[in-house]
Amino acid sequence: MKLKNKVAIVTGAGAGMGRSVAIRYAKEGASVVIAEINDDLANETLAEIVSNGGDAIFVPVNVGEERQVEQMVSSAVKKYGRIDVLYNNVAKMHKQDAKVHELSTEVWNELMNVNMNSAFFCCKYVIAEMLKTGGGSVIIVGSPTALVACSSSDTAYSCSKSGGHALARVIAGAYGKENIRANIIIPGTMDTPMIKDIIEDKKIKIDLENAAMLGRLGASNDVDGLAVFLASDDSSYCTGAYFTADGGLTAL
Ligand SMILES: NC(=O)c1ccc[n+]([C@@H]2O[C@H](COP(=O)([O-])OP(=O)(O)OC[C@H]3O[C@@H](n4cnc5c(N)ncnc54)[C@H](O)[C@@H]3O)[C@@H](O)[C@H]2O)c1
């Protein structure tokens, strides 16, 4: 087991990739904090972990609200005494995200808050704890849309995700000597609830499949291996780096 005795917060662990990573972390021996806004989804993840013999708690949180994040981190520390891994996973897309001249400031602000401010809030309170216990691993889930122009009308989403990329690299530079590492996982187009509406259109789905060198969409569990590697001591000399699990999308 790669994560024995580690405590990991996984945000957005109720569905999609966050759920898969939370379940895998528990199988690797971690105690998992399911930090999630949706009670029903979170409880499903919790039940699966417990039925596999794993250890987890659910802490309800809207990661876009700083006070709630502070409370969530405090509950995690109260239960487990430390935090070794922050898997910062929550983000959302918006149907009204658009090209710059058509984009409302409300949609821009909403996505900046849920996707980028949330990462700042989580890192702020978790890093304060990691500094007390000798270090840890911060993993920020990024996006190809913040690297290449593969989704040209998702302005706010792409900009919010590139803020997460920058945050990880700044943290890597600022806290390396305190033994806190920060890295970025870039999934490709993954078959999760986030893109359910988009891939209902069969032509779009085929185009997205063909955009990846592997010729298929990613599955929810296709980032699990990287997520375990970056959380574990196997990645002890990795920091400030991008790791793709995108089927070759950004190598095109
Ligand atoms: N799906 C893709 O194609 C894709 C591609 C590249 C990057 N990503 C990134 O991967 C990450 C996970 O994406 P996914 O597709 O698994 O997402 P998803 O929409 O399938 O699941 C997101 C989870 O986060 C929870 N959540 C949403 N808002 C929240 C909030 N404010 N507070 C707490 N929990 C909240 C949801 O309830 C859900 O359980 C995101 O950062 C996303 O940007 C996704």
pLDDT per residue as tens digits for the range 36-70: 999 999 999 999 999 999 999 999 999 999 999 99
Give the model's pLDDT for residue 150.
87
Question: 192 in a domain, yes or no?
Answer: yes
Single-letter amino acid, residue 77: V
Instruction: Name the residue with tokens 């070794």.
Output: 84
Question: 64 in a domain, yes or no?
Answer: yes
Give the model's pLDDT for residue 74.
98
Task: Work out how many domains the chain is built from and give that number.
Answer: 1
Question: 171 in a domain, yes or no?
Answer: yes
Question: 1 in a domain, yes or no?
Answer: no
Which CATH number does the domain housing residue 210 bear?
A: 3.40.50.720
Question: 141 in a domain, yes or no?
Answer: yes
Q: If you measure from the C-alpha of residue 192 to the centroid of ligand 1, how many angstroms do you get, rounded to a whole number?
A: 8
Q: Is 223 helix (H, G, I), strand (E, B) or coil?
A: helix
> Could you give the count of Cα atoms lying within 13 Å of 191 in the half-sphere of its Cβ?
14
Question: Are the CB atoms for 213 and 251 separated by under 8 Å?
Answer: yes
- Residue 157 annotated in active site: yes
> Could you give the count of Cα atoms lying within 13 Å of 52 in the half-sphere of its Cβ?
18
Give the model's pLDDT for residue 6.
98
Ligand 1 pocket by C-beta < 6 Å: which residues? 11-12, 14-18, 36-38, 41, 61-64, 89-92, 114, 141, 143, 161, 187, 189-190, 192-195
The parent domain of residue 57 ranges over 7-251
Catalytic residue among 25, 80, 125, 157: 157
- In sequence order, the 6+-apart residues with CB closer than 8 A to the CB of 46 are 34, 56, 57, 58
Give the model's pLDDT for residue 160.
98
Beta bridge partners of 32: 8, 56
Q: If you measure from the C-alpha of residue 24 to the centroid of ligand 1, how many angstroms do you get, rounded to a whole number?
A: 17
Question: 2 in a domain, yes or no?
Answer: no
Taking 70 as the pLDDT cut, the residues of the chain under it are none
